[in-house]
């Protein structure tokens, strides 16, 4: 283990992990079984247009989500857009800024205006008081995000939506297989949208889905994902091409079948991280809300710069040099990203975002999943302790310019100007 600053890869030492560990490393649990599934699809002659694999995948998703309907799509961004069109949203949609930029882009792309509200400091999900302060006559919907698999408490948000006649559409990209008070993510609000991107807990390489208990909404979503075509010579809506194909659905079915193993590994890894991180001053693992059961896809920690001795961004850079490819989601925040930061005043920002601003400076995510073993996490934990113990010397090196960061050769996030920030 590294016992001195010169041994750190950031200052010229050998990386602890020559083969880096990633956040969201895609998982294929059984390559041979999947290859057999894909071969059967290719030999079947039907590769798309709502074939048997997609229908089976939709049924399996309904089983996990506890909903009557699932509409599988090519990705979650398209799923959000189709759901928004099906709900006939107009004007403004209130959402967190502390989320992946795709949530905002999906709305802006179809002519809606994202309005950013603040989040709760403990769960990192939408703060109802902040949402209420953002409502205007132009608001048509609230778009909460189940961040880190922390399923939102729907009570206050539903009350706000009901009071103002708003739609409630949940971005559940992080929450497949997650529960709140025993109820699975999927049946809240008018609809919820899952992501099955390759980096997610369950994936179909690329994919997304709308789940709902509304028969009418489900039928409209199905029409919209397939060009609005309703018959051989009939078109009823201005639709799009959002269909999931059979190969993705087959991959998703195999991934759903592996959920018990994936859950076991994720929770096992989180427990090991919790043990090691608890021993590092200034580093705290984000607790799971008491009523929520997560898929533990994300191991989220908060850095207290004063106690740890380094900023979050400095720690991110040093760990990535070692091949521990931690992330700093969701820097810089939707409200500070183009085009939203360049928009006219008050177009996207109606309230201050103090919690969001703090989280953007302090939150980081650690590698986990099937490709990360408990022994790897123990090595990461010991490394964190060593970095914390040497934080004073590290800061001095960085302040004097003597210690310019040496980035891991496999790191795609290496900045050209050597800045100690990874875009997330």
- What's the pLDDT at 405? 83
In a domain, 247, yes or no: yes
Q: Which stretch of 12-26, 288-302, 320-334, 407-421 has the lowest confidence by average pLDDT?
A: 407-421
Last residue of some domain: 238, 257, 276? 257
CATH number at residue 383: 3.90.1150.10
Q: Which stretch of 76-90, 305-319, 399-413 has the lowest confidence by average pLDDT?
A: 399-413
Question: What would the mean pLDDT of 377-404 be, rounded to a whole number?
Answer: 90
Phi then psi for 314, rounded to 5 degrees? -65, -45
- What's the pLDDT at 291? 93
Verify that 317 and 218 share a domain, yes or no.
Answer: no
Verify that 215 and 273 share a domain, yes or no.
Answer: no
Verify that 13 and 35 share a domain, yes or no.
Answer: no
Domain count, the chain: 2
- What's the pLDDT at 78? 98
Verify that 297 and 202 share a domain, yes or no.
Answer: no
In a domain, 417, yes or no: no
Q: Which residues, 6+ apart, have CB-to-CB distance to 173 below 8 Å?
A: 76, 100, 145, 146, 193, 194, 195, 197, 200, 208
Verify that 143 and 232 share a domain, yes or no.
Answer: yes
Q: What are the pLDDT digits (tens) for 90-123?
A: 999 999 999 999 999 999 999 999 999 999 999 9
In a domain, 49, yes or no: yes
Question: What would the mean pLDDT of 11-16 be, rounded to a whole number?
Answer: 95
- What's the pLDDT at 251? 98
Verify that 235 and 267 share a domain, yes or no.
Answer: no
Verify that 384 and 288 share a domain, yes or no.
Answer: yes
Q: How confident is the model at residue 400 (pLDDT cuts 50, 70, 90)?
A: confident
Domain that holds residue 266: 5-25+259-400
In a domain, 344, yes or no: yes
In a domain, 309, yes or no: yes
What residue spans of 146-191 are helical by DSSP H? 154-164
Asked whether the predicted pLDDT for residue 424 surpasses 60, the reply is no
Rounded-to-integer distance, Cα 203 and Cα 197, Å: 5
Q: Which residues of 302-318 are buried (b: 16+ CB within 10 A; e: fewer)?
A: bbebeebbbbbbbbbbb
Verify that 122 and 200 share a domain, yes or no.
Answer: yes
Q: Which residues, 6+ apart, have CB-to-CB distance to 205 below 8 Å?
A: 26, 198, 247, 248, 251
Q: pTM of the predicted model, to two decimals?
A: 0.95
* Cβ contact 156:128 at 8 Å: yes
In a domain, 418, yes or no: no
- Three-state DSSP state, 229: strand
Verify that 106 and 213 share a domain, yes or no.
Answer: yes
Question: What would the mean pLDDT of 218-230 be, rounded to a whole number?
Answer: 94
Mean confidence (pLDDT) of the chain: 95
Q: Which stretch of 113-127, 189-203, 220-234, 268-282 has the lowest confidence by average pLDDT?
A: 220-234
Verify that 197 and 252 share a domain, yes or no.
Answer: yes
Last residue of some domain: 228, 257, 286? 257
Last residue of some domain: 257, 289, 322? 257
In a domain, 129, yes or no: yes
Rounded-to-integer distance, Cα 99 and Cα 36, Å: 37
In a domain, 420, yes or no: no
Verify that 68 and 186 share a domain, yes or no.
Answer: yes
Question: What would the mean pLDDT of 371-377 be, rounded to a whole number?
Answer: 97
Phi then psi for 148, rounded to 5 degrees? 60, 15
Angle at 224 between CA 218 and CA 228, to 5 degrees: 125
Verify that 248 and 356 share a domain, yes or no.
Answer: no
Q: Which of 133, 222, 148, 143 is nearest to 188 (CA)?
A: 143
Q: Which residues, 6+ apart, have CB-to-CB distance to 354 below 8 Å?
A: 118
CB count, 10 Å around CB of 326?
A: 24
How far is the CA of 163 from the CAs of 105, 141, 166, 168, 361, in angstroms? 27, 12, 8, 12, 35
C-alpha R_g of the chain: 22
CATH number at residue 94: 3.40.640.10
């Amino acid at each position: 283990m590294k016992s001195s600053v010169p041994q750190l890869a950031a200052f010229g030492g050998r990386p602890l992990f020559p083969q880096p560990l990633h956040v969201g490393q895609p998982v294929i649990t059984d390559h041979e079984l999947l290859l057999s599934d894909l071969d059967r699809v290719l030999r079947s002659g039907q590769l798309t247009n709502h074939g048997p694999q997609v229908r089976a995948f939709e049924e399996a998703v309904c089983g996990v989500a506890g909903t009557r309907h699932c509409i599988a799509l090519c990705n979650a961004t398209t799923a959000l857009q189709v759901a928004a069109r099906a709900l006939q949203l107009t004007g403004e949609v209130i959402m967190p800024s502390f989320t992946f930029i795709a949530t905002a882009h999906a709305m802006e792309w179809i002519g809606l205006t994202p309005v950013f509200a603040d989040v709760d400091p403990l769960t990192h999900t939408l703060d109802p008081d902040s949402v209420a302060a953002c409502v205007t006559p132009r608001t048509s919907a609230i778009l909460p995000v189940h961040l880190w698999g922390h399923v939102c408490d729907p009570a206050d948000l539903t009350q706000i939506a009901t009071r103002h006649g708003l739609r409630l559409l949940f971005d559940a990209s992080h929450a497949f297989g997650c529960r709140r008070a025993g109820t699975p993510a999927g049946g809240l609000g008018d609809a919820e949208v899952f992501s099955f991107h390759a980096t997610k807990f369950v994936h179909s390489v690329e994919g997304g889905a709308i789940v709902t208990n509304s028969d009418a909404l489900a039928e409209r979503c199905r029409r919209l994902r397939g060009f609005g075509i309703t018959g051989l010579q009939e078109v009823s809506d201005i639709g799009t091409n959002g269909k999931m194909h059979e190969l993705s659905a087959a991959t998703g079915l195999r991934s759903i079948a592996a959920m018990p193993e994936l859950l076991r590994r994720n929770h096992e890894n989180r427990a090991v991280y919790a043990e090691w991180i608890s021993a590092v001053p200034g580093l705290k693992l984000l607790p799971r809300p008491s009523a929520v059961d997560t898929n533990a896809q994300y191991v989220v920690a908060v850095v207290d710069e004063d106690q740890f001795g380094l900023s979050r961004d400095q720690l991110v850079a040093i760990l990535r040099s070692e091949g521990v490819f931690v992330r700093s989601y969701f820097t810089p925040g939707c409200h500070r990203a183009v085009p939203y930061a360049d928009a006219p005043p008050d177009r996207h920002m109606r309230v201050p975002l103090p919690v969001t601003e703090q989280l953007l400076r302090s939150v980081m995510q650690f590698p986990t999943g099937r490709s990360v073993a408990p022994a790897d996490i123990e090595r990461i934990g010991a490394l964190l302790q060593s970095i914390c113990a040497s934080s004073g010397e590290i800061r001095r090196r960085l302040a004097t310019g003597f210690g310019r960061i040496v980035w891991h050769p496999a790191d795609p996030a290496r900045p050209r100007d050597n800045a100690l920030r990874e875009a997330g």
